[in-house]
Chains A and B, each alone.
Chain A
Amino acid sequence: MAKKNQSSSGLAGTLKRWFLRFWKGGANALADEMEASKDDMSVEDIVSPMQQVVRNFLDRKLAVGALIVLIAMFLTMFIGPMFMPKYYDAYTEVTQKSIAPTMSMMKVPKELAKDVKMIDGYGSFSVGLSNAGKVYVWGSTQIGTTGVDVGDIPEDVQNANIVMVAAGIDHIIAIDDKGIVHAWGNNRLGQYTTLAEVEAKGEDINPNIAYMPEELVTTGIDVNNIKKLTCGYQCTAILMNDGTFYLWGNKLAYANIDLFLNAGTMYDLDFTLNYIVGINGKRNSIYTGSRGLYDVVRTEVGGSTYKIKDYLDDRKIESITAANNSMCLLLDDGSVCFAGDYAGNLTPAPVLSADEDFVQIVAGSYHYSGLTNKGNIYSWGSNTLNQTEVPKKYDGATKLYNGAFQTYAVNEEDDVVAKWGLKGYLFGTDTAGADIFQRIINGGKMTMTIGAVAVIISSVIGIIIGCISGYFGGKVDILLMRIAEIFNAIPFIPFAMILSAIMGRMTLSEDMRIFIIMCILGVLTWPGLARLVRGQVLVARESEYVTAAKALGVKEYTIAFKHILPNVMSVILVNLVLNFGTCMLTESSLSYLGFGVTYPRPTWGNMLNGANNATIINAYWWQWVFTAAFLAITCICINIVGDNLRDAMDPKANSSR
């Protein structure tokens, strides 16, 4: 109070007082002053017990901090999913498995951004080439547990003048000005092995590998005659202007390699995820080696289909651009059509006006971007990773390049003017290729919901039984406490596991299963609280206010639930908080062991499921560090809040302060 008087006595204080009086009238201020001077004389404020608890709690800095973190966690988990409309549980992406946390997937190196010759990407990284012949690699360059880093560009590539690059899922191919083909990255599945190398090492010839032609690395090819260099999953093709092509790589990834190697010449070719697709000399059908695979086309990504021959009429296919499961054909009249499989929820392809034609189409894994003769850029296809969100500004773009989930627009001066698509993954991806950050948020919602519902169930049962048992005593008490003991004798986790395993054998929907898990958790944890409430009620029952209520003729149930219950509320509240933590932990343990919520539904427990051997724990550290941290922080905060709440409510603790 003294402080307040000081500040009001200065000039500023007087001015402030005048100002306040002017606006609010003098009466309030005067009343406040009188109140304040009265306070000075009184010894201490009288506060209600609840206020005292809140004050005690707020005095503890650690507890307040923990509470804030906890509330923030709650809000993130329950509001966060609303900002992720594209998220769904079963999302998998084979080309994005186990990617380390990175946000650099679209970060074109500064030197390159002003001098782009070409950019390519297929998996988690992109490779770029400057006009000066220098190669740049960005994105997530570590390849799984192989220890291969495609970011380590070999010395001979750095010294050579490269004219063309392309990236596969785990390897990079570059051609220098002498026509020599360089390659680096993972080579375990024949991505760039020549037969001579195999013989030199004395290894057996692998029938599942189409070996790289010898002349590419020794004599080189005619650089000026190369029409296209393109990489697939673990496969590479170089197409020459005369239609001949070189093709090598993993036959298990592309079963139709042999058919292509025997097919002679091609006008154009590209890789989907499973097939090599080509346009032969007639330019009127899609060649895959097997009949009828892609013999229908559509004008729209989700539209109805036409037979390719009828649709083309007399038009010719100018180029083929393949995404993972589909392809886009650019016809010689500048229109496009589509073949292959399309998922739902796609951004539709644009409808161009009569005088606007596509001049270039590029394809990522699931999206296409097209540049028209009017300089407009359109993106369509899947938008799950923001691939089709074309920025408004891309003035003067004359050329498009693509990564797996990115598109780069480059202008006349070879500057990158716009880029859009996947920036990266804040917490990396899991073994299915899903964004761990999104799964943590959505999994947290699930974990917390299960914990909360279980606690509510257990508390309701515990409070009712505890109150009845404590208040009525006698036979009711004995019976209820015996029941509680039976429940207490059930070993918790094994029993929950058994129930959950048995449920797995029955045909139940996932939601039903989760609900039952909540119930199991709730029903098995009530005895502790029931006993606690019973003990408290036993004490309260003998107190004077209950005797008074009885004397007034208040009904027994009213006494039990309206007079006694509020007085044991503090114990219940503390227990609620601590039980919530326990239930979350139990659910996590169950899910971790595979007996709770199961994949694809995420919870913090089952997201850690994969981290069960030393190799994965070390190599894919991001797959458990973040999830475990979220789980740990939440549980620690819950326990700190609960403990401090108990201390704050304990009158003994108050007096000692």
Chain B
Amino acid sequence: MAKYVVKRIAYMLVVLVILSVIMFMIYSLVPSNRAYTDASNEIKSLKNVLPKDKIDEKFDELYLMYQRRYGTDTDSKIIRYLRWVGVYPLYDGSYNGLLQGNFGYSYEYQKPVLEVIKNPMINTIKLNIWATILGLGITIPLGIVCAVKRGGKLDQTMSIVTILGYSLPTFVISILFIWIFCSKLNIFPPSGMKTPGSNYTGFRQFLDEMYYMALPLLVMTFSSLGGMTRYVRASMTDALSMDCIRTARAKGLREKTVIYSHAFRNALIPIVSLVVGWFLGIFGGSLVVESMFAWNGMGRLMITSLRTADYEVVLLMQMFYVAMSLVGNLVIDIVYGIVDPRVRVDN
């Protein structure tokens, strides 16, 4: 097992490096020149101080300085990449890359990227924890009931609802829910994160936050309802048709014991892997829901950064997403091995 995990982690790192090269190369396609912008900004402030004939000279000097500072004083993209990672020295011989903890600098916010990402990340996690609790809390029981009473009224209704859930794109569900709950019923606020101008503390603050969170949560739950319920239902159906269930029933066990103790445990195996993947999604944030409800999270940051061409933020977020999904795959495989003794991951 340990050997397998080490192997997987090593492999994961290779993939991460390959993807980081791809990402970096894609970003270097963007026509942007930070050194040039900085140098010309600085030269503007010096315009009145310096004599005219010196300005060009000074500009070249500044430009070179900035290029050296940012590590763009070379045309070779490979060297730039290595400098970005932090394994190739800058002009002055120092290293300043990802490995040294330099995650980039946001041009839009004039702050290091890590600081920019911090707040949205907290907001996203806040929203997603609730979404996960709600989602799992509803879909798993629902899936079980549907599987047990297959073909019943609830099952038929749910089969329609689930088709809606995974056929409708999230933004259509959002629009629909805003229309129903904000415009027609006037229950929830259409967007935002807290009552404007309010300074609540303690429990009041929590309630206010939940009030604003309600609609995005509802949308996220509804859109996750489809896929997850079907999944649980399918794996539960499979579990219920197993021989051990027949044996259990033949033994005269109570139906509740059969379902929850015997069938559900077997059904749990595929579900667990999905749940783990879901938990990792907590950090990612939903692009559509967050931008729709003006929820200041990761997804929204991604969109605004793309719109304002703040590419260092986007690049780091992208790397973060990639790392998340790789770690996710690994964790799923390992958890699978732990939950299901029949699966030997090291084979």
Contact = CB atoms under 8 A, between A and B. Distances in A.
Interface of A: 482, 485-486, 488-491, 493-495, 497-499, 501-502, 505-506, 581, 585, 588-589, 592-595, 605, 608, 611-614, 617-618, 621, 624, 628, 631-632, 635-636, 638-640, 643
A630 to B, nearest CB: 11
B28 to A, nearest CB: 10
Interface in B15-44: 15, 18-19, 26-27, 29-31
B190 A486 contact: no
B30 A608 contact: no
Contacts of B18: 486
Interface string B295-327: 000000011001101000010011001101110
Contact of B29 (A502, A613, A618): A502
A617 B174 CA distance: 11
Given A491-B325, A608-B175, A635-B168, 16 more contacts: A486-B19, A489-B322, A494-B302, A498-B306, A498-B314, A498-B318, A502-B30, A588-B171, A589-B169, A611-B175, A613-B190, A614-B182, A618-B182, A621-B179, A632-B168, A636-B164
A489 B15 contact: yes
A431 B18 CA distance: 45
A491 B284 contact: yes
A489 B320 CA distance: 11
Contacts of B163: 636, 639-640, 643
A499 B26 contact: yes
A581 B169 CA distance: 10
Interface residues of B, number: 46
A617 B287 contact: no
Main secondary structure of the interface of A (DSSP, over half): helix
B175 A595 contact: no
Contacts of B303: 497, 593
A350 to B, nearest CB: 49
B281 to A, nearest CB: 10
A490 B322 contact: yes
B322 A491 contact: yes
Contacts of A605: 169
B287 A485 contact: no
B272 interface: no
A493 to B, nearest CB: 6
Contacts of A493: 287
Contact of A608 (B164, B171, B322, B324): B171
A494 B175 contact: no
Given A498-B306, A506-B29, A624-B175, A592 B288 contact: yes
A632 B172 contact: yes
Contacts of B30: 502, 505
Contacts of A632: 164, 167-168, 172
Greatest chain A CB density within 10 A among B178, B288, B324 is at B178
A628 B172 contact: yes
25 contacts: A488-B325, A489-B19, A491-B324, A494-B287, A494-B302, A494-B318, A497-B303, A499-B26, A502-B26, A502-B27, A505-B31, A585-B167, A589-B287, A592-B169, A592-B171, A593-B287, A595-B306, A608-B171, A613-B191, A618-B184, A628-B176, A632-B172, A635-B167, A635-B168, A643-B163
B292 A612 contact: yes
A151 B268 CA distance: 62
Contacts of B329: 485, 488-489
A332 B291 CA distance: 63
Going nearest first, the 6 A-B pairs with the smallest beta carbon separation are A618-B183, A614-B190, A491-B321, A635-B167, A636-B167, A501-B306
Nearest to B327: A489
A643 B175 CA distance: 27
A645 to B, nearest CB: 14
Contact of B175 (A498, A581, A588, A628): A628
Nearest to B317: A494
Contact of A617 (B29, B175, B324): B175
A639 B167 CA distance: 7
Contact of A505 (B284, B309, B322): B309
B221 interface: no
A632 B174 CA distance: 13
B185 to A, nearest CB: 11
Contacts of A489: 15, 19, 322, 325-326, 329
B170 interface: yes
Contacts, number: 118
A638 B167 CA distance: 9
A66 to B, nearest CB: 10
B166 interface: yes
Contacts of A612: 292
Contacts of B166: 639
Nearest to B285: A494
Given A614-B190, A628-B175, A636-B164, A494 B321 contact: yes
A605 B182 CA distance: 22
A490 B19 contact: yes
A610 to B, nearest CB: 11
A486 B167 contact: no
B8 to A, nearest CB: 11
Contacts of A624: 175
Contacts of B178: 614, 617
Contacts of B29: 502, 506
A502 B309 CA distance: 9
Nearest to A611: B175
A616 B303 CA distance: 22
B344 to A, nearest CB: 19
A506 B32 CA distance: 11
A238 to B, nearest CB: 41
A638 B169 CA distance: 13
A490 B329 CA distance: 12
Contacts of B322: 489-491
A588 B167 CA distance: 12
A349 B324 CA distance: 67
A594 B308 CA distance: 13
B325 A589 contact: no
Interface string B220-242: 00000000000000000000000
A588 B169 CA distance: 8
A624 B179 CA distance: 11
A624 B30 CA distance: 34
B273 to A, nearest CB: 15
Nearest to A643: B163
A32 B183 CA distance: 66
A469 B183 CA distance: 54
Nearest to A66: B163
A482 B163 CA distance: 33
A618 B15 contact: no
Contacts of B309: 501, 505
A485 B325 contact: no
B302 A497 contact: yes
Given A498-B318, A636-B164, A617 B179 contact: yes
A436 to B, nearest CB: 15
A49 to B, nearest CB: 24
Nearest to B230: A643
A487 to B, nearest CB: 10
Count chain A CB atoms within 10 A of each CB in B29, B306, B322 and give the residue with the most: B306
Nearest to B183: A618
Contacts of A488: 325, 329
Nearest to A587: B169
A638 B176 CA distance: 21
A612 B172 CA distance: 10
Interface in B44-67: none
